[in-house]
Chains A and B, each alone.
Chain A
Amino acid sequence: DVKVTQSSRYLVKRTGEKVFLECVQDMDHENMFWYRQDPGLGLRLIYFSYDVKMKEKGDIPEGYSVSREKKERFSLILESASTNQTSMYLCASSRTTSGNTIYFGEGSWLTVV
């Protein structure tokens, strides 16, 4: 089974803090993704990466950055957390392009106070 592991299930951070969300996949997938999930808005793509050190902006990249130094690990960084970044963050991975199945982690609930 594909395993996508997010390091933290629940985090509470203060406004202005730098936040790291870590994600590891164990299936040697080329593609990795960070989505944000909010009620009524579904999932929105923040960033994705199709190879080590490669990244592309998704639909809502403002306020976020990412890092992919190793193929299995994809980190989401909030440089200066704000209350409007309180949300559920979902990491995902997939093997190839052209619509192959995406596998999700369990999600990280981030609250910024």
Chain B
Amino acid sequence: GNSVTQMEGPVTLSEEAFLTINCTYTATGYPSLFWYVQYPGEGLQLLLKATKADDKGSNKGFEATYRKETTSFHLEKGSVQVSDSAVYFCACGSSNTGKLIFGQGTTLQVKP
């Protein structure tokens, strides 16, 4: 079945630093790929998604590109803010059902 592996956290950065959170997936077919964000005390919110190879998802300064050749969907942001502190989850959509398979999550802490 599908699986998702994220880089381990926590990741601690200073404000305005560059962020990369690595995500790789294993799947058959052509799954959709997602990044969700969870702020403290809240549920998960969709951050961005990509539905086919070479697509780039973007939102709130975050970007991720669907790389089929490396089965990756790394999350990047050029300049993080304190308000970006949260847990980030990479997810892979099953090609046959509506299910999402999630990575273990990466905690990001941004210090002023």
Interface residues of A in 58-113 (CB under 8 A from B): 58, 90, 92, 94, 96-107
Instruction: Decide if A25 is an interface residue (CB 8 Å cutoff).
Output: no
Number of interface residues of B (CB under 8 A): 25
Contacts of A94 in B (CB 8 A): 98
**Which residues from A are CB-within-8-Å of B100?**
99, 102
Query: Could you tell me the distance between the alpha carbons of A43 and B89 in the complex, rounded to whole angstroms?
Result: 9
Query: Is B70 an interface residue, CB under 8 A from the partner?
Result: no
Q: Does B73 contact A (CB under 8 A)?
A: no
Binary CB contact string for chain A from 10 to 22 against chain B (1 if under 8 A, 0 otherwise): 0000000000000
- A33 x B103 contact (CB < 8 A): no
Q: Is B26 an interface residue (CB 8 A)?
A: no
- Find out whether the CB atom of B102 lies under 8 angstroms from the CB atom of A99: no
Q: State the CA gap A101–B51 with chains docked (Å).
A: 10
30 contacts between A and B (CB under 8 A): A4-B43, A30-B98, A33-B98, A35-B102, A41-B104, A42-B104, A42-B105, A43-B44, A43-B102, A43-B105, A45-B99, A45-B101, A50-B97, A50-B98, A96-B98, A98-B32, A98-B94, A98-B96, A98-B97, A99-B31, A99-B32, A99-B98, A100-B98, A101-B46, A101-B49, A102-B98, A102-B100, A104-B45, A105-B43, A107-B43
A interface vs B, CB < 8 Å?
4, 30-31, 33, 35, 40-45, 48, 50, 58, 90, 92, 94, 96-107
Of all A-B residue pairs in the complex, the 3 with the closest CB atoms, nearest first, are: A99-B93, A99-B32, A42-B104
B residues near A (Cβ < 8 Å) are 31-32, 34, 36, 42-46, 49, 51, 89, 93-105
